[in-house]
Structure 1
Amino acid sequence: MAEQLGLVMIVEDDKAIADVERLYLTQAGFGVHTESNGERALEEIRRRRPVAVVLDVGLPGLDGISVCRRLREAGDWVPVIFVTARDDEVDRLLGLELGADDYLTKPFSPRELVTRIRGILRRTNGVLASTVRRVGTIELDERERSVRASGRPVELTAMEFDLLAYLSASAGQVFTRDQLLAAVWGQANYSGARTVDVHVAQLRSKLGADSPLRTWRGVGYSVVGAAVGAST
Protein backbone atom coordinates (compact mmCIF):
# COMPACT_ATOMS: atom_id res chain seq x y z
CA MET A 1 0.00 0.00 0.00
CA ALA A 2 2.73 2.49 0.95
CA GLU A 3 4.63 1.79 -2.25
CA GLN A 4 1.48 2.45 -4.26
CA LEU A 5 0.85 5.89 -2.78
CA GLY A 6 4.48 6.93 -2.61
CA LEU A 7 6.86 8.39 -0.06
CA VAL A 8 6.04 11.56 1.91
CA MET A 9 8.92 13.45 3.53
CA ILE A 10 8.15 15.05 6.91
CA VAL A 11 10.56 17.81 7.91
CA GLU A 12 9.74 18.68 11.51
CA ASP A 13 11.96 19.28 14.56
CA ASP A 14 9.17 18.60 17.10
CA LYS A 15 9.32 14.81 17.49
CA ALA A 16 5.81 14.54 18.96
CA ILE A 17 4.29 16.32 15.96
CA ALA A 18 6.39 14.33 13.50
CA ASP A 19 5.34 11.06 15.14
CA VAL A 20 1.63 11.92 14.85
CA GLU A 21 2.03 12.96 11.21
CA ARG A 22 3.92 9.75 10.47
CA LEU A 23 1.22 7.64 12.17
CA TYR A 24 -1.66 9.11 10.19
CA LEU A 25 0.17 9.12 6.86
CA THR A 26 1.29 5.52 7.35
CA GLN A 27 -2.26 4.47 8.21
CA ALA A 28 -3.41 6.21 5.02
CA GLY A 29 -1.03 4.06 2.97
CA PHE A 30 1.94 6.37 2.43
CA GLY A 31 5.57 5.59 2.99
CA VAL A 32 7.08 8.15 5.37
CA HIS A 33 10.58 9.45 6.03
CA THR A 34 11.24 12.13 8.65
CA GLU A 35 14.01 14.68 9.08
CA SER A 36 14.46 17.41 11.70
CA ASN A 37 17.25 19.36 10.00
CA GLY A 38 16.85 21.55 6.92
CA GLU A 39 20.23 20.78 5.34
CA ARG A 40 19.78 17.06 5.83
CA ALA A 41 16.23 17.28 4.49
CA LEU A 42 17.47 18.85 1.24
CA GLU A 43 19.90 15.97 0.74
CA GLU A 44 17.24 13.35 1.43
CA ILE A 45 14.62 15.01 -0.79
CA ARG A 46 17.07 14.95 -3.68
CA ARG A 47 18.05 11.34 -2.96
CA ARG A 48 14.67 9.80 -2.12
CA ARG A 49 12.46 11.81 -4.52
CA PRO A 50 9.29 11.91 -2.35
CA VAL A 51 5.86 12.53 -3.86
CA ALA A 52 5.27 15.36 -1.35
CA VAL A 53 7.06 17.23 1.44
CA VAL A 54 5.46 18.35 4.71
CA LEU A 55 7.77 21.21 5.70
CA ASP A 56 7.85 23.00 9.05
CA VAL A 57 8.60 26.71 8.61
CA GLY A 58 10.30 27.15 11.99
CA LEU A 59 13.18 24.70 11.66
CA PRO A 60 16.41 25.51 13.52
CA GLY A 61 19.33 26.48 11.31
CA LEU A 62 18.14 26.28 7.71
CA ASP A 63 14.44 27.05 8.08
CA GLY A 64 11.58 25.73 5.97
CA ILE A 65 11.35 28.85 3.82
CA SER A 66 15.01 28.50 2.85
CA VAL A 67 14.58 24.78 2.14
CA CYS A 68 11.66 25.48 -0.20
CA ARG A 69 13.54 28.32 -1.90
CA ARG A 70 16.56 26.11 -2.59
CA LEU A 71 14.36 23.35 -4.01
CA ARG A 72 12.62 25.75 -6.39
CA GLU A 73 15.85 27.42 -7.44
CA ALA A 74 17.20 23.97 -8.32
CA GLY A 75 14.11 23.28 -10.45
CA ASP A 76 12.60 20.78 -8.01
CA TRP A 77 8.82 21.30 -7.95
CA VAL A 78 7.87 18.48 -5.59
CA PRO A 79 4.58 19.47 -3.88
CA VAL A 80 5.34 21.26 -0.60
CA ILE A 81 2.89 21.80 2.26
CA PHE A 82 4.15 24.35 4.78
CA VAL A 83 3.35 23.81 8.47
CA THR A 84 3.67 26.96 10.57
CA ALA A 85 2.96 28.09 14.12
CA ARG A 86 2.88 31.70 12.98
CA ASP A 87 -0.66 32.62 12.03
CA ASP A 88 -0.02 35.85 10.16
CA GLU A 89 -0.54 36.83 6.55
CA VAL A 90 3.12 37.61 5.83
CA ASP A 91 4.25 34.03 6.40
CA ARG A 92 1.36 32.66 4.38
CA LEU A 93 1.96 34.92 1.38
CA LEU A 94 5.72 34.40 1.47
CA GLY A 95 5.23 30.65 1.49
CA LEU A 96 2.93 30.77 -1.52
CA GLU A 97 5.26 33.11 -3.41
CA LEU A 98 8.11 30.65 -2.88
CA GLY A 99 6.14 27.97 -4.68
CA ALA A 100 4.53 26.10 -1.80
CA ASP A 101 1.36 24.28 -2.78
CA ASP A 102 -0.49 24.62 0.52
CA TYR A 103 -0.05 25.42 4.20
CA LEU A 104 -1.44 24.40 7.56
CA THR A 105 -1.31 26.42 10.77
CA LYS A 106 -0.55 24.66 14.06
CA PRO A 107 -2.46 23.16 15.75
CA PHE A 108 -4.11 21.24 12.93
CA SER A 109 -5.88 17.94 12.49
CA PRO A 110 -3.57 15.20 11.15
CA ARG A 111 -6.57 13.95 9.17
CA GLU A 112 -6.67 17.33 7.42
CA LEU A 113 -3.00 16.92 6.51
CA VAL A 114 -3.75 13.55 4.90
CA THR A 115 -6.68 15.09 3.02
CA ARG A 116 -4.55 17.94 1.69
CA ILE A 117 -1.81 15.60 0.48
CA ARG A 118 -4.30 13.28 -1.21
CA GLY A 119 -5.91 16.24 -2.95
CA ILE A 120 -2.63 17.57 -4.29
CA LEU A 121 -1.51 14.16 -5.52
CA ARG A 122 -4.88 13.40 -7.08
CA ARG A 123 -4.66 16.55 -9.15
CA THR A 124 -0.97 16.11 -9.95
CA ASN A 125 -1.05 12.41 -10.85
CA GLY A 126 -4.58 11.98 -12.11
CA VAL A 127 -5.19 10.48 -15.52
CA LEU A 128 -5.68 13.43 -17.86
CA ALA A 129 -6.64 13.62 -21.50
CA SER A 130 -3.74 13.96 -23.90
CA THR A 131 -4.62 17.48 -24.98
CA VAL A 132 -2.95 20.81 -25.35
CA ARG A 133 -5.21 23.75 -24.57
CA ARG A 134 -4.45 27.18 -26.00
CA VAL A 135 -5.85 30.46 -24.76
CA GLY A 136 -4.35 33.44 -26.54
CA THR A 137 -0.57 33.06 -26.28
CA ILE A 138 -0.83 30.51 -23.45
CA GLU A 139 -0.32 26.82 -24.22
CA LEU A 140 -1.27 24.40 -21.46
CA ASP A 141 -0.39 20.70 -21.79
CA GLU A 142 -2.57 18.70 -19.38
CA ARG A 143 -0.71 15.43 -19.87
CA GLU A 144 2.73 16.92 -19.24
CA ARG A 145 1.37 19.50 -16.77
CA SER A 146 3.41 22.16 -18.48
CA VAL A 147 2.67 25.73 -19.56
CA ARG A 148 4.24 27.94 -22.18
CA ALA A 149 3.61 31.65 -22.68
CA SER A 150 4.52 32.98 -26.13
CA GLY A 151 6.68 29.89 -26.49
CA ARG A 152 8.62 30.32 -23.24
CA PRO A 153 8.27 27.66 -20.51
CA VAL A 154 6.62 28.84 -17.28
CA GLU A 155 7.28 27.00 -14.01
CA LEU A 156 4.09 26.65 -11.96
CA THR A 157 3.28 24.95 -8.67
CA ALA A 158 0.72 22.13 -8.70
CA MET A 159 -1.98 24.48 -7.37
CA GLU A 160 -1.14 27.24 -9.84
CA PHE A 161 -1.37 24.79 -12.73
CA ASP A 162 -4.67 23.37 -11.48
CA LEU A 163 -6.17 26.83 -11.11
CA LEU A 164 -5.10 27.93 -14.58
CA ALA A 165 -6.28 24.64 -16.10
CA TYR A 166 -9.68 24.90 -14.43
CA LEU A 167 -10.27 28.49 -15.52
CA SER A 168 -9.01 27.94 -19.06
CA ALA A 169 -11.25 24.87 -19.50
CA SER A 170 -14.22 27.24 -19.21
CA ALA A 171 -12.74 30.33 -20.79
CA GLY A 172 -15.08 33.30 -20.55
CA GLN A 173 -16.97 31.95 -17.55
CA VAL A 174 -16.68 33.93 -14.32
CA PHE A 175 -16.07 31.93 -11.14
CA THR A 176 -16.45 33.20 -7.60
CA ARG A 177 -13.67 32.59 -5.08
CA ASP A 178 -15.81 30.05 -3.25
CA GLN A 179 -16.44 28.15 -6.49
CA LEU A 180 -12.70 28.05 -7.22
CA LEU A 181 -11.88 26.93 -3.69
CA ALA A 182 -14.38 24.08 -4.00
CA ALA A 183 -13.30 23.01 -7.50
CA VAL A 184 -9.51 23.42 -7.29
CA TRP A 185 -8.74 23.04 -3.58
CA GLY A 186 -11.54 20.56 -2.92
CA GLN A 187 -13.34 22.30 -0.09
CA ALA A 188 -14.91 25.75 -0.13
CA ASN A 189 -13.64 28.24 2.43
CA TYR A 190 -11.10 25.83 3.97
CA SER A 191 -8.39 28.50 3.88
CA GLY A 192 -10.26 31.63 2.86
CA ALA A 193 -10.76 33.58 -0.32
CA ARG A 194 -7.35 35.25 0.11
CA THR A 195 -5.74 31.98 -1.01
CA VAL A 196 -7.35 32.34 -4.43
CA ASP A 197 -6.24 35.98 -4.70
CA VAL A 198 -2.63 35.04 -3.89
CA HIS A 199 -2.52 32.26 -6.49
CA VAL A 200 -4.04 34.49 -9.16
CA ALA A 201 -1.47 37.18 -8.36
CA GLN A 202 1.33 34.63 -8.66
CA LEU A 203 0.00 33.36 -11.99
CA ARG A 204 -0.15 36.89 -13.35
CA SER A 205 3.39 37.55 -12.20
CA LYS A 206 4.72 34.41 -13.88
CA LEU A 207 2.69 34.75 -17.10
CA GLY A 208 3.43 38.46 -17.45
CA ALA A 209 1.91 40.22 -20.42
CA ASP A 210 0.58 36.86 -21.68
CA SER A 211 -1.76 36.45 -18.71
CA PRO A 212 -5.36 35.79 -19.81
CA LEU A 213 -6.69 36.18 -16.24
CA ARG A 214 -9.34 38.82 -15.62
CA THR A 215 -10.63 40.11 -12.29
CA TRP A 216 -14.32 40.83 -11.92
CA ARG A 217 -14.41 43.18 -8.98
CA GLY A 218 -16.70 41.96 -6.23
CA VAL A 219 -17.38 38.71 -8.12
CA GLY A 220 -14.32 36.61 -8.95
CA TYR A 221 -12.08 35.63 -11.86
CA SER A 222 -12.17 34.35 -15.41
CA VAL A 223 -9.86 33.55 -18.31
CA VAL A 224 -10.37 35.82 -21.30
CA GLY A 225 -10.52 34.33 -24.78
CA ALA A 226 -11.74 31.12 -26.37
CA ALA A 227 -9.88 27.97 -25.41
CA VAL A 228 -8.80 25.69 -28.24
CA GLY A 229 -7.92 22.06 -27.47
CA ALA A 230 -5.95 19.80 -29.79
CA SER A 231 -5.05 16.13 -29.43
CA THR A 232 -1.39 15.36 -29.09
Structure 2
Amino acid sequence: MKLLMIEDNESVSEMMKMFFLNEEWDVTFKYDGKEGLDAFLEEPSVWDMITLDLNLPTMDGVTVCREIRKVSSVVPIIMLTARDSESDQIIGLEMGADDYVTKPFSPITLIARIKALYRRSLLSEEGDGRSENSVDEEFDIVTDYFKINHKTREAYYQEELIEGLTPKEFDLLMTLAKKPRQVFSREKLLELVWDYQYFGDERTVDAHIKKLRQKIEKVGPQVIQTVWGVGYKFDDSGVKE
Protein backbone atom coordinates (compact mmCIF):
# COMPACT_ATOMS: atom_id res chain seq x y z
CA MET A 1 0.00 0.00 0.00
CA LYS A 2 1.22 3.51 -0.83
CA LEU A 3 -0.08 5.84 1.85
CA LEU A 4 0.09 9.62 2.24
CA MET A 5 -0.14 10.82 5.87
CA ILE A 6 -0.76 14.56 6.22
CA GLU A 7 -0.25 15.27 9.91
CA ASP A 8 1.37 18.31 11.57
CA ASN A 9 2.04 16.55 14.87
CA GLU A 10 5.44 14.95 14.33
CA SER A 11 5.17 12.79 17.46
CA VAL A 12 2.00 11.22 16.04
CA SER A 13 3.74 10.64 12.71
CA GLU A 14 6.78 9.10 14.41
CA MET A 15 4.55 6.82 16.45
CA MET A 16 2.63 5.67 13.37
CA LYS A 17 5.81 5.22 11.35
CA MET A 18 6.76 2.20 13.45
CA PHE A 19 3.37 0.59 12.88
CA PHE A 20 3.46 1.36 9.16
CA LEU A 21 6.92 -0.19 8.88
CA ASN A 22 5.60 -3.29 10.59
CA GLU A 23 2.91 -3.52 7.90
CA GLU A 24 5.55 -2.93 5.20
CA TRP A 25 3.60 -0.04 3.73
CA ASP A 26 5.20 2.69 1.61
CA VAL A 27 4.31 5.86 3.52
CA THR A 28 5.04 9.53 2.76
CA PHE A 29 4.66 12.03 5.60
CA LYS A 30 3.73 15.69 5.12
CA TYR A 31 3.37 18.12 8.01
CA ASP A 32 1.55 20.97 6.27
CA GLY A 33 -1.80 21.07 4.47
CA LYS A 34 -0.52 22.75 1.32
CA GLU A 35 2.53 20.48 1.12
CA GLY A 36 0.31 17.45 1.53
CA LEU A 37 -2.04 18.58 -1.21
CA ASP A 38 0.89 19.32 -3.52
CA ALA A 39 2.29 15.83 -2.87
CA PHE A 40 -1.02 14.31 -3.86
CA LEU A 41 -1.41 16.49 -6.95
CA GLU A 42 2.04 15.56 -8.25
CA GLU A 43 0.87 11.98 -8.89
CA PRO A 44 -2.80 11.55 -7.93
CA SER A 45 -3.07 8.01 -9.25
CA VAL A 46 -0.24 6.49 -7.18
CA TRP A 47 -1.87 6.84 -3.75
CA ASP A 48 -3.81 3.92 -2.28
CA MET A 49 -4.80 5.73 0.94
CA ILE A 50 -4.68 9.17 2.57
CA THR A 51 -4.88 9.96 6.27
CA LEU A 52 -5.60 13.64 6.77
CA ASP A 53 -5.49 15.70 9.96
CA LEU A 54 -8.32 18.21 10.35
CA ASN A 55 -6.18 20.96 11.91
CA LEU A 56 -3.21 21.76 9.68
CA PRO A 57 -1.05 24.82 9.09
CA THR A 58 -1.30 26.74 5.78
CA MET A 59 -4.38 24.82 4.62
CA ASP A 60 -6.88 23.02 6.89
CA GLY A 61 -7.84 19.39 6.38
CA VAL A 62 -11.36 20.14 5.19
CA THR A 63 -10.01 22.32 2.37
CA VAL A 64 -7.37 19.74 1.47
CA CYS A 65 -10.04 17.03 1.34
CA ARG A 66 -12.27 19.13 -0.87
CA GLU A 67 -9.40 19.85 -3.29
CA ILE A 68 -8.42 16.17 -3.43
CA ARG A 69 -12.01 15.21 -4.25
CA LYS A 70 -11.99 17.64 -7.19
CA VAL A 71 -9.26 15.48 -8.70
CA SER A 72 -10.16 12.00 -7.46
CA SER A 73 -13.44 10.63 -6.19
CA VAL A 74 -11.94 7.19 -5.54
CA VAL A 75 -8.83 7.56 -3.38
CA PRO A 76 -9.80 6.51 0.18
CA ILE A 77 -9.48 9.29 2.80
CA ILE A 78 -9.51 8.92 6.59
CA MET A 79 -9.82 12.19 8.51
CA LEU A 80 -7.97 12.52 11.83
CA THR A 81 -9.34 15.05 14.28
CA ALA A 82 -8.45 16.08 17.80
CA ARG A 83 -11.95 17.42 18.31
CA ASP A 84 -14.64 15.16 19.65
CA SER A 85 -17.21 17.33 17.92
CA GLU A 86 -20.00 15.90 15.82
CA SER A 87 -20.11 18.97 13.59
CA ASP A 88 -16.39 18.75 12.72
CA GLN A 89 -16.67 15.07 11.95
CA ILE A 90 -19.75 15.51 9.78
CA ILE A 91 -18.14 18.40 7.88
CA GLY A 92 -15.15 16.19 7.13
CA LEU A 93 -17.39 13.41 5.84
CA GLU A 94 -19.46 15.82 3.78
CA MET A 95 -16.31 17.17 2.12
CA GLY A 96 -15.58 13.66 0.88
CA ALA A 97 -13.74 11.79 3.63
CA ASP A 98 -14.63 8.10 3.78
CA ASP A 99 -14.13 7.80 7.53
CA TYR A 100 -12.72 9.62 10.54
CA VAL A 101 -10.75 8.70 13.65
CA THR A 102 -10.81 10.92 16.73
CA LYS A 103 -7.60 11.78 18.58
CA PRO A 104 -6.20 10.49 20.81
CA PHE A 105 -6.47 7.18 19.01
CA SER A 106 -4.93 3.76 19.35
CA PRO A 107 -2.47 3.04 16.53
CA ILE A 108 -4.00 -0.42 16.28
CA THR A 109 -7.42 1.17 15.71
CA LEU A 110 -6.10 3.40 12.93
CA ILE A 111 -4.32 0.47 11.30
CA ALA A 112 -7.54 -1.56 11.45
CA ARG A 113 -9.54 1.29 9.90
CA ILE A 114 -6.98 1.69 7.12
CA LYS A 115 -6.98 -2.04 6.38
CA ALA A 116 -10.77 -2.19 6.32
CA LEU A 117 -11.09 0.79 3.99
CA TYR A 118 -8.30 -0.47 1.74
CA ARG A 119 -9.83 -3.94 1.58
CA ARG A 120 -13.15 -2.44 0.50
CA SER A 121 -11.46 -0.31 -2.15
CA LEU A 122 -9.76 -3.38 -3.61
CA LEU A 123 -13.05 -5.26 -3.71
CA SER A 124 -14.62 -2.31 -5.50
CA GLU A 125 -11.88 -2.37 -8.14
CA GLU A 126 -12.12 -6.12 -8.68
CA GLY A 127 -15.91 -6.25 -8.82
CA ASP A 128 -18.07 -8.81 -7.12
CA GLY A 129 -19.85 -10.46 -10.02
CA ARG A 130 -23.37 -9.92 -11.26
CA SER A 131 -26.41 -9.42 -9.10
CA GLU A 132 -29.24 -11.88 -9.45
CA ASN A 133 -31.45 -8.83 -10.17
CA SER A 134 -29.54 -8.04 -13.35
CA VAL A 135 -31.40 -8.23 -16.64
CA ASP A 136 -28.89 -6.21 -18.67
CA GLU A 137 -25.38 -7.56 -19.22
CA GLU A 138 -23.92 -4.05 -19.06
CA PHE A 139 -25.23 -3.46 -15.54
CA ASP A 140 -25.06 -5.33 -12.26
CA ILE A 141 -28.36 -3.92 -11.01
CA VAL A 142 -31.36 -2.84 -13.06
CA THR A 143 -34.59 -1.61 -11.47
CA ASP A 144 -37.53 0.20 -13.01
CA TYR A 145 -35.66 3.49 -12.89
CA PHE A 146 -32.04 2.80 -11.90
CA LYS A 147 -29.08 1.08 -13.53
CA ILE A 148 -25.83 0.49 -11.69
CA ASN A 149 -22.54 -0.72 -13.17
CA HIS A 150 -20.09 -1.96 -10.55
CA LYS A 151 -17.10 -2.18 -12.88
CA THR A 152 -17.39 1.41 -14.14
CA ARG A 153 -18.65 2.63 -10.73
CA GLU A 154 -21.53 4.45 -12.43
CA ALA A 155 -25.18 4.78 -11.47
CA TYR A 156 -27.97 6.13 -13.68
CA TYR A 157 -31.49 7.34 -13.07
CA GLN A 158 -33.47 6.92 -16.30
CA GLU A 159 -30.23 7.04 -18.35
CA GLU A 160 -28.97 10.18 -16.56
CA LEU A 161 -25.68 9.74 -14.73
CA ILE A 162 -25.61 10.44 -10.98
CA GLU A 163 -22.42 12.47 -10.91
CA GLY A 164 -19.70 12.81 -8.30
CA LEU A 165 -20.33 9.69 -6.23
CA THR A 166 -17.48 8.93 -3.83
CA PRO A 167 -16.47 5.29 -3.30
CA LYS A 168 -18.51 4.95 -0.12
CA GLU A 169 -21.55 6.71 -1.59
CA PHE A 170 -21.50 4.33 -4.56
CA ASP A 171 -21.03 1.29 -2.30
CA LEU A 172 -23.95 2.44 -0.13
CA LEU A 173 -26.23 2.87 -3.13
CA MET A 174 -25.28 -0.49 -4.57
CA THR A 175 -25.65 -2.31 -1.25
CA LEU A 176 -29.14 -0.88 -0.74
CA ALA A 177 -30.24 -1.30 -4.37
CA LYS A 178 -29.18 -4.95 -4.50
CA LYS A 179 -32.10 -5.71 -2.19
CA PRO A 180 -34.87 -3.20 -2.88
CA ARG A 181 -37.22 -2.48 0.03
CA GLN A 182 -35.07 -4.44 2.47
CA VAL A 183 -34.28 -2.35 5.54
CA PHE A 184 -30.62 -2.18 6.59
CA SER A 185 -29.65 -1.04 10.05
CA ARG A 186 -26.79 1.41 10.42
CA GLU A 187 -24.76 -1.32 12.14
CA LYS A 188 -25.30 -3.65 9.17
CA LEU A 189 -24.29 -0.95 6.69
CA LEU A 190 -21.11 -0.28 8.68
CA GLU A 191 -20.34 -3.99 8.42
CA LEU A 192 -21.17 -4.34 4.71
CA VAL A 193 -19.83 -1.05 3.36
CA TRP A 194 -17.07 -0.11 5.81
CA ASP A 195 -16.23 -3.65 6.98
CA TYR A 196 -16.62 -2.61 10.62
CA GLN A 197 -18.02 -5.46 12.68
CA TYR A 198 -16.85 -4.40 16.10
CA PHE A 199 -16.36 -0.65 15.94
CA GLY A 200 -17.63 2.32 14.02
CA ASP A 201 -19.81 5.37 14.40
CA GLU A 202 -23.36 5.38 13.05
CA ARG A 203 -22.97 9.08 12.22
CA THR A 204 -20.62 7.99 9.45
CA VAL A 205 -23.52 6.20 7.75
CA ASP A 206 -25.91 9.14 8.25
CA ALA A 207 -23.45 11.64 6.76
CA HIS A 208 -22.88 9.49 3.66
CA ILE A 209 -26.61 8.87 3.22
CA LYS A 210 -27.19 12.63 3.33
CA LYS A 211 -24.62 13.28 0.58
CA LEU A 212 -25.88 10.35 -1.50
CA ARG A 213 -29.44 11.70 -1.32
CA GLN A 214 -28.31 15.15 -2.41
CA LYS A 215 -26.61 13.73 -5.50
CA ILE A 216 -29.57 11.51 -6.42
CA GLU A 217 -31.96 14.45 -6.06
CA LYS A 218 -30.03 16.36 -8.74
CA VAL A 219 -31.32 13.91 -11.36
CA GLY A 220 -34.47 12.38 -9.90
CA PRO A 221 -36.71 11.69 -6.92
CA GLN A 222 -35.50 10.44 -3.56
CA VAL A 223 -35.38 6.66 -3.32
CA ILE A 224 -33.24 6.20 -0.18
CA GLN A 225 -35.83 6.10 2.56
CA THR A 226 -35.40 6.33 6.32
CA VAL A 227 -37.18 3.70 8.38
CA TRP A 228 -37.33 5.41 11.75
CA GLY A 229 -35.73 3.51 14.58
CA VAL A 230 -34.35 0.89 12.20
CA GLY A 231 -32.24 2.20 9.32
CA TYR A 232 -32.47 2.78 5.58
CA LYS A 233 -33.84 1.12 2.47
CA PHE A 234 -33.84 1.60 -1.32
CA ASP A 235 -37.30 1.76 -2.88
CA ASP A 236 -38.10 3.25 -6.30
CA SER A 237 -41.46 1.48 -6.60
CA GLY A 238 -43.30 4.70 -5.79
CA VAL A 239 -41.52 6.86 -8.35
CA LYS A 240 -43.95 8.81 -10.51
CA GLU A 241 -43.17 9.63 -14.11
Structure 2 unmatched runs, 5+? 131-138
The 5 A counterparts of 1:69-84 are 69-84=66-81
- Counterpart position of 1:64: 61
More moved, 88-97 vs 205-214: 205-214
Query: 2:203 and 2:226 mapped to 1: Cα distance?
Result: 14
Query: 1:59 and 1:104 mapped to 2: Cα distance?
Result: 16
Say which SS state the counterpart of residue 151 (structure 2) adopts. Answer: coil
2:73 and 2:164 in contact (8 A); partners too: no
User: Is 1:218 the counterpart of 2:229 in the alignment?
Assistant: yes
1:83 and 1:104 in contact (8 A); partners too: yes
- Counterpart position of 1:202: 211
User: Is 1:186 the counterpart of 2:195 in the alignment?
Assistant: yes
Length-normalised TM-score, structure 2: 0.84
CA 1:221–1:180: 2 relative to 1, 3 Å: same
- Counterpart position of 2:104: 107
Query: 2:189 and 2:228 mapped to 1: Cα distance?
Result: 15
Query: 2:188 and 2:150 mapped to 1: Cα distance?
Result: 21
CA 1:178–1:38: 2 relative to 1, 3 Å: same
Question: Alpha carbon RMSD of aligned pairs, Å?
Answer: 1.9
Query: 1:28 and 1:75 mapped to 2: Cα distance?
Result: 25
CA 1:153–1:167: 2 relative to 1, 3 Å: closer
Query: 1:148 and 1:95 mapped to 2: Cα distance?
Result: 26
Length-normalised TM-score, structure 1: 0.87
- Counterpart position of 1:9: 4
- Counterpart position of 1:229: none
| CA shift for structure 1 position 54 | 0.4
- Counterpart position of 1:230: none
Aligned residues between the structures? 221
1:12 and 1:18 in contact (8 A); partners too: yes
Matching residue's letter, 1:64 = G
- Counterpart position of 1:42: 37
Say which SS state the counterpart of residue 28 (structure 2) adopts. Answer: strand
2:181 and 2:235 in contact (8 A); partners too: yes
Equivalent of 2:146, from 135, 138, 141? 138
More moved, 12-21 vs 127-136: 127-136
2:190 and 2:202 in contact (8 A); partners too: yes
Query: 2:173 and 2:21 mapped to 1: Cα distance?
Result: 32
Structure 1 unmatched runs, 5+? 1-5, 227-232
Query: 1:210 and 1:22 mapped to 2: Cα distance?
Result: 47
The alignment-based identity, stated in percent, is 33
- Counterpart position of 2:135: none
Runs of 4+ off more than 6 Å: none
Query: 2:85 and 2:40 mapped to 1: Cα distance?
Result: 28
2:50 and 2:76 in contact (8 A); partners too: yes
| CA shift for structure 1 position 178 | 1.8
| CA shift for structure 1 position 217 | 1.3
1:68-121, CA deviations, whole angstroms, 9 ceiling, x for partnerless residues? Answer: 111123345421110000110110110111010000000111122122122122
Query: 1:210 and 1:24 mapped to 2: Cα distance?
Result: 46
Structure with a larger share of its residues in strand: 1
CA 1:123–1:135: 2 relative to 1, 3 Å: farther
